[in-house]
Chains A and B, each alone.
Chain A
Amino acid sequence: MGLKMMRATALATATSVAALLGGAANAVEIEYWQYFFDARVTAMEQLIENFEAANPDITVTMTHFPYADYRTKVAAAVPAGEGPDVVQLFYGWLNDYVEAELIQPLPADAFPAAEIDATFFPMVQAMKEGDNYWALPTAVRSLALFYNKRLMEEAGVEPPTTIDEMVAAARAMTKVDGAGNVTQVGLTAGMTAQDHHWWREVLVRQFGGEPYTDDYRTVAYNSDAGIAALEFYTGMAMGDEPITAFGFMDEPQAAFRAGMAGMHIDGSFRIGALNDTRGLQWGVTELPATNDGMRSNYSSYWVNAITTKAEGEKYDAAVKFMQYITSDEAMQIWLDVVGELPAKPSVGMTDANANDEVFGPFIRGLAYAHTTKFADESGQRQLMVEMVERMTLQGMSAAESLAIAAEAEQALLDDYYKK
């Protein structure tokens, strides 16, 4: 018995050592980098686990760090041959990464451009050059109108579908004290949050204009439509009967979460935070359309790409990993865990997802969404912020303030594209 046991143990040890050695000899280890956001890290851990189960010879290590350091670290690590084999980056940074030779194009045989064109949402085509894609997203984001169910009920209004209905509903939910101070807003507003996207890609178009031409290299919103859109936007706070106040409760999302705002425009990434807010009964609907039914939306996304560091067997492993994280299965996991929308209509537009009470409005918004090609997102947002401030704080007219913003943004774009 004792001998038998010893022999068994020895055998087991020998086998496991062999397995370990054998595994080590074949295993390819690749590194994946993304910035830190709790749900994204959890989702990626789940994806890596599934991928490793299907590909036992590949190990994926994930590294994440704060958003603020992200770009610096990638830039320092890849040329030094350290960093990631597969990296996540904001779509607006792609040009910089390509020019700096930090990433390499995805192989056409594993990622045929024609197939991607046909199966992904069209905005992804911004990542294409010739027959190759440079990068692909797992998930995309869009905007929608959140509303507070309790305040709607109290004011006796329904979730709006058009801009006029939205203004009327907001008016019914706005509360003003005796001195004229707004104490509850019908709709949150602030260019510092998502409103600059709403104004650029949605309002300007709905008022009959075009925000940019020439593949986002020429500013075109300095038009009558642009002025009308800006007057509408600022008029919500500056009129005799305001339905909102800029800077109300510091941040639009804070006002909405505190139940002090009837409606709030925000991205799909806000869903998680709203779910965690106790006592808030909220719903969500598509961004309001014009009276003749014209809709628009803004979408953005983070993409994954293979870096120039990946070579040989690591490159092959990286391609396999990229294929998995852009697969239908990965997109559904990402939607369930992070709340970000699948980048393929075939996954997003399933009946279950498109009619989902929460995700539905965002997913339907993707069908008519535009993706701004930013040269410097925070710089371009700042110009929108200042455009409104010149009107609210310095009493400038919409036309004049818009002209200044358009000129400054054009200068910024020219400076970026001259390189």
Chain B
Amino acid sequence: MDLYRNLTIRQKQIVWAYAFLALPILFYSVIRFYPTGNAILISFQDWNLLGARTWTGLDNYVKLLGDPVFWQVFRNTFVYLLLGTPISLVISFIIAYHLDKTRFMHGFLRMLYFLPFMTSAVAMAWVWRWFYQPVPIGLFNNALASIGIPQIAFLNSTTNALPSVLAPAVWAGLGFQIIIFMAGLRAIPRSYYEAAKIDGVGWWTVLWEITIPLLKPTIVFIVVFSSIGFLRIFDHVFNMTTNNPGGPLNSTKPLVLMIYETAFDSFDMGYAAAQTVVLFLVLLVVSLIQLRILRDR
């Protein structure tokens, strides 16, 4: 107690600051860092959840590199990212840009766009899964069949399935991105637009020279955020393909789903942990690259 009493006011403040900071640090080390470290440890071991863990060195990683399913899944994960992020970015920007200029029923429209974001991904995935079914129950195919167009195999096809699963995932994320974009648009000072108006420049120049450059921090945020989201896509895929998760023929399987199956269907925890470490590294690298490219020069 004496020790504390002898401190200066400044030192006491520091002690208190650390006391408060200790809580989140403790929380993070127990909830985040310890399991992360443990997962890295398990990736070098063989463990079926029940027995003892045995060291296997790099075996899990060697198996990973030689596993064709892993490479297919790796590719799928990047297809989700490379299709999902730009598409959702462009669509959400276009909607936000026009919604920003709309006065008529502005609040109502904004709510309509935001609604899917608040909907449970599981419920949404099951409804879309029903939309995609072949006749006689699928909404889309029934419509096609009734006007005499051949059915489209949405989910039961190795080429169509991934875009079909991605579509509702993009739609679900739009609301959030639109709101962020609108906040970004509102933050641009009106004086720039007034100056442009006085100079008499066209709308394209205004968009290209003022709006987009000034939205850069917003775009960086959305790109990083949605990239991480698409790299971790799971619930849409799993719920739309529960009978054959990630199918057909692994054509929709993302890395997270493979990790889940390896861990909790095959009970091969070591192999699953190795996949997790790879996912961690991918997320890290992708985020770092994006931050570097999109950073203010």
Contact = CB atoms under 8 A, between A and B. Distances in A.
Given A71-B267, A96-B48, A393 B158 contact: yes
B244 A192 contact: yes
Contact of A385 (B51, B151, B244): B244
A390 B249 contact: yes
A72 B49 contact: yes
A336 interface: no
Contacts of A250: 129-130, 133, 137, 243
Given A99-B50, A385-B244, A386-B249, A177 B265 contact: no
Interface string B192-232: 00000000000000000000000000000000000000000
Interface in A350-389: 376, 378-379, 382, 385-386, 389
B266 A378 contact: yes
B261 interface: yes
B55 interface: no
Interface in A229-269: 245-251, 260
Contact of B136 (A96, A100, A183, A385): A183
A177 B266 contact: no
A382 B134 CA distance: 22
B137 A389 contact: no
A207 to B, nearest CB: 25
Most chain A beta carbons < 10 A, residue from B136, B145, B155: B136
A260 B49 CA distance: 42
A68 interface: yes
Interface in B149-171: 150-151, 155-158
A213 interface: no
B270 interface: no
Contacts of A181: 134-136, 145, 151
A394 interface: yes
Interface string A177-208: 10101011000001011000000000000000
A75 interface: yes
Contacts of B50: 71, 75, 96-97, 99-100, 102
B126 to A, nearest CB: 10
Contact of B157 (A184, A251, A393, A419): A393
Interface in B118-148: 129-130, 133-137, 145, 148
Given A71-B49, A246-B156, A394 B249 contact: yes
Interface in B236-272: 243-244, 247-250, 261, 264-267
Contacts of A248: 134
Interface residues of A, number: 36
B249 A393 contact: yes
B134 to A, nearest CB: 7
A213 B243 CA distance: 29
Contacts of B151: 179, 181
Contacts of A177: 135, 145
A246 B265 CA distance: 24
Contacts of B156: 246-247, 393
Interface string B44-62: 0010111110000000000
Contact of B133 (A97, A249, A382): A249
A100 B148 CA distance: 60
A378 B265 contact: yes
Contacts of A382: 244
B152 to A, nearest CB: 12
Nearest to B51: A100
Contacts of A251: 243
Nearest to B156: A247
A374 B129 CA distance: 31
A308 to B, nearest CB: 12
A179 B145 contact: yes
Contacts of B148: 179
A260 B136 contact: yes
B135 A183 contact: yes
A379 B49 contact: no
Most chain B beta carbons < 10 A, residue from A97, A379, A393: A393
Nearest to B132: A250
A192 B242 CA distance: 9
Contact of A389 (B135, B145, B247, B266): B247
A135 B151 CA distance: 51
Contacts of B135: 177, 181, 183
Contacts of A99: 50-51
Nearest to A102: B50
B127 to A, nearest CB: 13
A250 to B, nearest CB: 6
Nearest to A249: B137
A304 to B, nearest CB: 17
B54 to A, nearest CB: 9
A238 to B, nearest CB: 13
B247 to A, nearest CB: 7
A393 B49 contact: no
B171 to A, nearest CB: 21
Nearest to B262: A379
Nearest to A385: B244
Contacts of A184: 136
Given A389-B247, A394-B249, A376 B134 contact: no
A394 B49 contact: no
A111 to B, nearest CB: 23
A179 B134 contact: no
Nearest to A246: B156
Nearest to A184: B136
A251 B137 CA distance: 12
A145 B247 CA distance: 27
Nearest to B49: A75
A153 B191 CA distance: 79
Contacts of B244: 192, 382, 385
Nearest to B126: A250
Contact of A190 (B46, B145, B243): B243
A379 B247 contact: no
A137 B177 CA distance: 54
In the A-B complex, the 3 residue pairs with the smallest Cβ-Cβ separation, listed nearest first, are A100-B50, A100-B51, A192-B243
5 contacts: A99-B50, A99-B51, A393-B157, A393-B158, A394-B249
Interface of B: 46, 48-52, 129-130, 133-137, 145, 148, 150-151, 155-158, 243-244, 247-250, 261, 264-267
Given A102-B50, A247-B155, A385-B244, 8 more contacts: A100-B52, A181-B136, A181-B145, A192-B243, A248-B134, A386-B247, A389-B247, A389-B249
